[in-house]
Structure 1
């Protein structure tokens, strides 16, 4: 074998071809040919892996293909192994090298190994797994072109924006139209795409649109919270494309152009009167596109996906994700936050705090520093309504909030029969608000008066008056207390003057015998 490595090394060090020929024992024509081939292949320096065998294969492939002794890799096996997670050509080359040594064969160098595999992959496979693995990525974007829906009433054309999702490996695509490109539709489109693919890829690659990425720093993109929550639910990761780097999502960029020609352009003259009708026409075209045979390889997008990629997709959860929208609000002085002109309560301790609000169609959840502090059933309808949890109120507000005719009747029943009769009489013969104000005074009396005393006073008031009221009840209770106080004082005085048998009085000490 030629001493190619030594020849090139001396050439790079500046030795003449005559000197190199004398040192290696090769003819000057051979030396000139080796140096010429190295220039053609743009080899400017030598590395450790560039052995004579490797250089011979690389510079003179027409010779090396016939050489005996090289261990032939199983390219089909290597191709399938590359589809597995974390498997690389470097790892497979090490395993191949080990097998070659065991069989006393010469292994290809790593560079030759990669070149030969690249030739195999480009010849037999549409997509090269060396760059994209099945089930690894879903690329998503809004198409630049739009469609239109005709308004039945006015005849006006309403713009419909087109969402595109593509699996780079199989090129299987999903397309759907929406009235706007806001966050709820963006997330809904992803959910429908996952359901169409019947699986989820490991990574989502969107563009830097505001519905997906709030801001994009070089290494730390800040994602829309609703979008991140959706990705967490489906156990996938969002990796936004770099700013002004369309090659980061080349498949979807290419698919957008292809879909614009095959679907959007094909539907340009169709007249639809609803979004559902338009999406039915779109999905029909999408299915036709995904089932169309490739021109340069056997199969279609759908068949490649079913045969080679679907098994690598993560399964869908049992229930589809319910889209949520996140907002920031400030707690008002009435311990409520206002969302779409509807008021929802939070614990009064969070007055004037900024909170995060998570909205779904059915639920409103309020978070403070990632801790949920309140949840309410979402109200749809008249603006200005309140959803208030009594447990969120201060004690004084809660007492007033719970002060209703029903609560007063229940309170009276716990005291006694005559109290219930009096309260029902007041509620019946007064305007509700006026009656409740009077009964609040009765509740205040109860704080310093026993239930027995109130029941007795109510009995007295009902027996002496045809128009009983709280003021009269107060007078009766006051007189009862005064009477009880007099009786108590009299009783104590009597006790103090009474001569008990064991008490030694004046007579005992002879005091009365001295009185004249």
Structure 2
């Protein structure tokens, strides 16, 4: 050790203010060496004045401290190779490198000296390019290697789920969510959730080359081929995928840092908790995620990721589309018939009439049916339940068909308003119960015929009777039967709403017929 540090250590020991550990830190020597010096000074006490006056050699002779004969040279390892292995080999630590070096060297340096020199070499490596990330330009996405666990509440069996992580390039705002697996459906669902979290979309997405995103990477002989479902999702949001190059981890270094942050501050703390469902674990992830994004960063003047995002990047993101992306399954390609309605599962869905004779692709999920022509969505319908139903959008119809539809709609709407109140109320009830404008239109026309043939009064009485006694089943046939048999309008009904045919039957004889009276 340097002469000045030796004298400094002796002076601190004599002053008796610091422990061996503290003196060792100040003088850059081991605490056991300080303990040895302290023991020598107990046997041969010295004053501070004597320590200052005597030379180092005289002090060593006086305290019987022989100068250590340490080798002046060691077998130096290849520091460039050591630095490359530290940065490229996953899980590599200095202990492993020192053990390998010590076995191959005649005069190896100590582990402490090895670590100190390797750290110094890592600091003085060649210049590293600092990437300038433009606000709103790109986001980096990947799955985490450290996966959360779910526990079955009934069996107690545990299973892993995947953890999706994304980060914006400029603000470094982090998003994380758990999904069941690494399938394309889960991958797309995670992106949709990420865009909702950001409140907008970046210009580019930089994923790794997993199968949910890339079928063939750039290095493949056929060129890069993206996963079709993922490509459709990104087209829906106006985002261009730019997968990282194979074997070039620097292309997605930012998301690797984000994965490390999530592992340290989310995955490891949550591993001590028990979760039974993905929504439950995502609620816990959301709480920890807010803490990461709101945490001040020293290197950025104490500003947090969220603060930088709100001030500099949110306004640069593109607006979300009006409808979120649905991961549709391709059913088949079909030629549009002359009635411009495509059949699926026994129901019919309209497309623009200009596509008659052309081929469209039919996609569906649990809620909607979508039709595409040349990779462009041309129609979207709520999926109909049952068989034989039709979903027609007015802007898909030619003008003459649209006029016909409007005329039919106006007929049962306006005609009923000019009739007596029971007829108008009956038509409104018919539409509310059956929810079929076509059927209500036919009903209105039939009522108009009945009014012309039998007069308005009997039709009004029949409609009023149906409104009173059968509001849950306003069939037009019931009104026709009542008009054909007017006496039935006065017929009582049973508790369940059905007519009691025995009440006014001609063969029924009451007490008056037999001359009896109640007593």
TM beyond 0.5: no
When normalised by structure 1's length, the TM-score is 0.44
When normalised by structure 2's length, the TM-score is 0.43
Q: Work out which of the two has the higher radius of gyration on C-alpha atoms and give 1 or 2.
A: 1
